[in-house]
Amino acid sequence: MRLKSLKRWLILGHRWLGIATGLFLAAWVLSGLVMLYVAFPALTEAERLSRLAPIAWDRVLLGPDEALARAGLAAPPGGLSLSMRAGAPVYQVTTRAGARHPVSAETGQALGPLDAAAARAPFGPDATVRAVRRDPWTVRDRYDPVRPFHVVALGDAAGTELYVSARTGAVVLDTTRRERLWNWLGAIPHWFYPTPLRARAELWRGTVLWVSGLATAGVLGGLVLGIWRLRLRRPYASGAVTPYRGLARWHHLLGTLGGLSLLSFVASGWLSMNPNRWFSPRTPPAAMAEAYAGPPAPIGREALDGLARPGIVEVRFTQVDGRPVRIAADAQGRRLVAPAPPEAALRAAAARALPEARIAGVETLTAPDAYWYSHHDTRTLPVLRVRFDDPAATWLHIDPETGALLDRLDASGRLQRWLFEAPHRLDFAFLFQARPAWDAVMWLLNGLGAGIALSGVVLGWRRLRRTARIG
């Protein structure tokens, strides 16, 4: 009797959870196929540097400290760089709070917003400009410090649009017609990215957690029920292994065959939202980054000595264990680091970043491994991995060339890699590096998931129609 009651509740739960979430499941698996090949618009480091003009060194009259003091920004910034804005050299300052301030390298004046004409000027007479504060491509809160934008349409064959921050004057995003079109079928439905919803971060997060959580429960119930009702050794009276007919038969068989992969996709998608904040973010917290940098050192005009070379488009000013580091780059991304921090300084800075723990080991990775690898993103190699003996078993990854603290990865982050990234993206090196084998597997599993979801949507629609007629 108890078994019969359990089966009844499984049937009811799977049916109504499937009706509630079936369309979402179908959208997820189909949009996931698009995302295999078209990423969400983003400005790569190479693209960003290629858009910068060479620094006019003869107009850089002030060192960083003097320029910031004149602008009333003498407090140590969260980030500092030198580049060109509207034909003049400026220091781009990021405060501890994340606010952005452009400061003239000639006068030390804090500069106001860039107007539309100045934003369009570098891109030629065919360019057009419009104002945007928030749209589907800039909906993420990481763009908040640089809003609003002048969107400059270049008028080229690719339909390129550049997002120029009115606050800083820097290009912060580029999109093409192809990216915009395919992302309406890819990332936007996959990530629940309607602008009014995504602009409210906590509402968006809660919505995705609840919908994906209910979908996970529905798929799990269906998988259990499908295996329960499958008869391989003792077929039903009709001779079939399933009691269903028509589309329901296909739903049962597809669900039994592909239900586990669909469950892994949707459950790992739920985990990607970090329910209950189980997983630590990989971005080092501000206090850790400041401890790694060490006490602020003075940065005078002489800090630019040796870097004033033709073709340099940006100089970033950083610190490692209290040692100033200057990183100059040209439009092709070639870097000049002065002075390059020694490994001893990197170890000392890492120890500063986590003073309550001891360094348990240091290794230099020259090839990707299971936790540091490129998939749809780029990872710096070689990279220094510093392991600590703290309760969270923290690892820090450091760029050995520049000393940049790239990320923090603790035990919870490593667990998330196997609970989310591995089942959701199948980013195993042996598979992803053997493309198109990875593509074939992803198409097969997503195809099974789409078949399960779409057949379930049709069955759910039929059930609702019958219920409405009876009512």
Quote the CA–CA distance of 17 and 348 in Å, as a whole number: 54
Residue 119: closest CA among 147, 93, 86? 86
Say if residue 326's pLDDT is above 70: yes
The full 3-state SS of 354-380, as one line of letters, equals CCCCCEEEEEEECCCCCCCCCCCCCCC
Query: Helix-strand-coil percent breakdown of the chain, rounded to 5?
Result: 45, 20, 35
pLDDT over 70 for what percent of the chain? 99
Q: What is the CA radius of gyration of the chain?
A: 27
pTM value is: 0.92
pLDDT band at 364 (very low <50, low <70, confident <90, very high): very high
Residue 345: closest CA among 294, 286, 307, 288? 294
Which range, of 24-33, 143-152, 367-376, 393-402, averages the lowest pLDDT?
Answer: 367-376
| pLDDT per position as a tens digit, 272-300 | 999 999 999 999 999 999 999 999 888 99
**Going edge to edge, which strands form the sheet with 383-388?**
359-365, 383-388, 395-398, 405-409
Q: Which helix (H) or strand (E) holds 337?
A: strand 335-338
CA distances (Å), origin 208, targets 203, 279, 354: 9, 17, 34
3-state secondary structure of 225: helix
CA distances (Å), origin 467, targets 22, 67, 222, 269, 463: 18, 72, 21, 32, 6
Q: Provide φ and ψ at 127, rounded to 5°.
A: -75, 145
Per-residue pLDDT at 374: 87
Quote the CA–CA distance of 306 and 297 in Å, as a whole number: 19
pLDDT band at 359 (very low <50, low <70, confident <90, very high): very high
Read off the pLDDT of each residue in 100-123 and give the average, rounded to a whole number.
Answer: 95
Tokens representing 199 are 């602009």
Per-residue pLDDT at 467: 82
pLDDT band at 1 (very low <50, low <70, confident <90, very high): low
Residue 425: closest CA among 368, 381, 373, 380? 373
Say if residue 463's pLDDT is above 70: yes
Residue 454: closest CA among 247, 266, 269? 247
Per-residue pLDDT at 159: 96
Q: Are 231 and 237 in contact (CB under 8 A)?
A: no
Tokens representing 326 are 């200057």
Strands 395-398 and 405-409, bridge-based pairing: antiparallel
Q: What is the mean pLDDT of the chain?
A: 94
Tokens representing 177 are 């017609």
| pLDDT per position as a tens digit, 26-65 | 999 999 999 999 999 999 999 999 999 999 999 999 999 9
3-state secondary structure of 461: helix
Say if residue 216's pLDDT is above 80: yes
Q: Are 81 and 314 in contact (CB under 8 A)?
A: yes
Quote the CA–CA distance of 78 and 71 in Å, as a whole number: 16
Per-residue pLDDT at 403: 96
Largest pairwise CA distance in the chain: 91
Q: HSE (CB half, 13 Å, CA atoms) of 12?
A: 6
Tokens representing 68 are 């910031």
Read off the pLDDT of each residue in 323-340 and give the average, rounded to a whole number.
Answer: 95
Torsion, Cα 431 437 443 446, to 10 degrees, reads -20
Q: Are 150 and 138 in contact (CB under 8 A)?
A: no
pLDDT band at 471 (very low <50, low <70, confident <90, very high): low
Give 330's strand partners: 312
Say if residue 77's pLDDT is above 80: no
Q: Are 32 and 55 in contact (CB under 8 A)?
A: no
Residue 339: closest CA among 310, 311, 366, 306? 306
Read off the pLDDT of each residue in 92-100 and give the average, rounded to a whole number.
Answer: 89
C-alpha angle 274-277-280 in degrees, rounded to nearest 5: 90
Give 325's strand partners: 318
